[in-house]
Amino acid sequence: MMRGARPLARAARRLSTSCEGKAYAGAMTKVVCTLGPATETQERVQELCDAGMACARLNFSHVTDYSEPAAKMELVRAARGEHAKLEGTIHDAGSRHANLRAVLLDTKGPEVRTGTLPGNADSFIIEDGMEVICTFDDVSSDPEVKAGDSTCRLHVDYESLPSTVAVGSKILLDDGLISLQVTSIGSDSVTAIAENSGPIKARKGVNLPGSILDLPALTPKDKEDIQWAVETGADFVALSFVRSARNVRSCRAFMERCCPDQKTRMPQIISKIENQEGVDNFDEILEASDGVMVARGDLGVEIDFEKVFAAQRYMVDACNRVGKPVIVATQMLDSMMRQPRPTRAEVTDVAAAVLDGADAVMLSGETAAGKYPIESLQAMKSIIREADAIIDGKSREGETSGKSYARSAQKSANVVPLQDVELDAVARAACRAADALDAKLITCVTRSGQLAKAVARHRPSIPIVAFCYTAEVGRSLALHRAVTPILLDAVRGSEQKMDLNGAENPYEKGTSMGLLRAESIRTCRELGYVTDGDRVVSVDRALGKAHDAFAVAQTLKIYTACKRTAFFCTIVRSAHNPPLIIFSPVAQHRPAGAVRETRDALVETICFGTPANEQGPEAQEFAVRGSGVPLVGAVLADAGQDFLAFDEVLVVADVAVNVTMIFIQNLFDRQLALAPIR
């Protein structure tokens, strides 16, 4: 029951939709691609988008000029998406409002590196057994190291090195390629013996496994980069070398200071776990973060390599339990930087990450500087599609819906409940209902993205299509497994945007939730996500107004897709006239302005119940025949009379060329039939 006259003409206006990535054509697990020299043209970025890239990573380790990442971000924003395939879309193929691929800024972080080499040499060979004196002093004036030398000095840009390591500790150079063992510690230097030989260059990474480093959470460069990310609208910031929750909180506080106003949407923080301290403090880091990246490159150097897989499984499982996205990264398909096909070990590695529960997997050098960037992404997608089919119980051998339901219940039991118990209950019920009914999709209309995230945290076995009111919200869902965001422009005027944080209640603008559900299913069918006979589970939540008896209404509905046209059945009750039933087709291309032009005639029709045969050309071609009730088919415009009250029901009709029949059970305790006016 709706009190007052909700203007259904607004609800019947045309909606524009656009989306990224097919729910069925693509895999459930997302792929993050690093942009670099191999993929810094519009053509290459478009190929990555077409192949299934969900998020583009910009590596800021060596960025000094912001024009380079700005150009890459523009390439991502300008790429075409699935929205170009929708009929009647008001957005052109390159509209940035319709592009829902996210951009992730990866910070350099507080690293320890080698400095200028003795004699300003480009490189030299550290021999097995050579004595290496690690110091914070400048060693560029030292003589150049030559073959046969038994000792050398090496600049390390970490002043607290002597107080950080202990005798017997390891110092690893260049991602662990050279290992040094500490033999003595001085006041301003550390002496170590090389355990193997290898070349060393300036600005190479230095790892101190097992040591607790005294480094700031954010370097001056990190702060400049993060401020750029906030100002330019990056969607995620990957915070490097996170060691504790304090690092994450410091980053978030800095972001808040960078925001020009409260309406600016801050990037989400993805904490990169790359050292033993991060693993030890993982639970508190996860609680403070929006997501996690398992950065196995540095992690495999900082901890024993044989323990990396166990750490990966632990972190992925912990993220799954709290519903936060987790990315598994580094050397996933490393051989494809040089070869057109992955190794069998790499295929198994990618599949294992998906089976562990990763929301996304990442390509680094493969797409940034490799010879086969597009082929790498295609190979990655094909692997995770197969793994997704296994993890979701949809392998070629198949699985009964009963087993699927039991699996869904078991997965949900392991998920930590949300504080919003009602939202969590509806999200859990949606996933279980989808499994029990063998549904093909779960759809939701979300203002802030929280509804889609709540459903995704229960790890459903089918895609979630999330209809979002802003592109910023849509891109914020890019790393969540199974979620396909779609931009739903429900505001009159295609370029008018709502509050970025979704604080504005869309229902106050007169958009009917029933219409949005019908439009969402129509769009999914148009994009090929569902076909005739497929079941769709729809979840939504509405905010109550001052005169409503509820604050928030959670709704779960089941639909069956078919070749049908949606109608609104509106029952108009007047104090002086018998009830009037109006069937209003959901006109996909009917502009709201044309509805308003008929307002005066339609209000007269509503108030006096004009017979159908006396209607003007603006009336619809349908009339309802029911005993004792004056019924007329018309489009309801902005009739705001206080004496009118509405009961609104969304019905769906089979559409034929000459005959249309609608049956509504229990409406006025009778069955009504709708037929075309002759």
pLDDT at 437: 84
Instruction: Give dist(CA 105, CA 361) in Å, integer.
Output: 16
Which band of pLDDT confidence, cut at 50, 70 and 90, is reported for residue 540?
A: confident
Domain 29-109+217-391 of CATH type 3.20.20.60:
yes
Choose the CATH number for 401-560 among 3.30.300.30, 3.40.1380.20, 3.30.70.20, 3.40.50.970.
Answer: 3.40.1380.20
Q: How many CB atoms lie within 10 A of CB 385?
A: 16
d(CA 192, CA 166): 11
CB proximity list for 37: less than 8 A, separation 6 or greater: 368, 369
pLDDT at 41 over 80: yes
Tokens representing 671 are: 């069955």
Taking residues 455-466, what's their average pLDDT? 93
Confidence (pLDDT) at 171: 97
Q: Give residue 595's pLDDT band: very low, low, confident or very high (50, 70, 90).
A: very low
Q: For 374-416, what is each residue's pLDDT tens digit?
A: 999 999 999 999 999 888 765 334 443 444 444 444 455 567 7
d(CA 411, CA 435): 12
Contacts of 47 (CB under 8 A, 6+ apart): 374
Place of tokens 């198949």: 398
> For every residue of 631-660, which 3-state class applies, written as one string?
CCCCCCCCCCCCCCEEEEEEEEEEECCCCE
pLDDT at 667 over 50: no
| CATH architecture type of domain 118-207 | Beta Barrel (2.40)
Q: Which residues contact 550 (CB under 8 A, 6 or more apart)?
A: 544
Computed from CA positions of residues 313, 318, 323, 328, in that sequence, does the dihedral angle turn out positive or negative?
negative
Single pTM value for the model: 0.76
Which one is predicted more confidently, 602 or 482? Answer: 482
According to the model, what pLDDT value does residue 515 have? 65
Which H helix or E strand runs over 473?
helix 471-476
Q: Where are the chain's structural domains?
A: 29-109+217-391, 118-207, 401-560, 566-676
Task: Please state which of the ranges 24-28, 71-75, 167-171, 201-205 shows the lowest mean pLDDT.
Answer: 24-28
What does the pLDDT look like over 139-189, one tens digit per residue? 999 999 999 999 999 999 999 999 999 999 999 999 899 999 999 999 999
d(CA 57, CA 368) in angstroms, rounded, equals 9
Interaxial angle between packed helices 421-436 and 401-413, expressed in degrees from 0 to 180 and rounded to the nearest 10:
160
Q: Would you please indicate which residues are annotated as catalytic (active-site) residues?
A: 57, 113, 272, 330
pLDDT of residue 84: 56
Model confidence at 526: pLDDT above 90:
no
Q: How confident is the model at residue 514 (pLDDT cuts 50, 70, 90)?
A: low
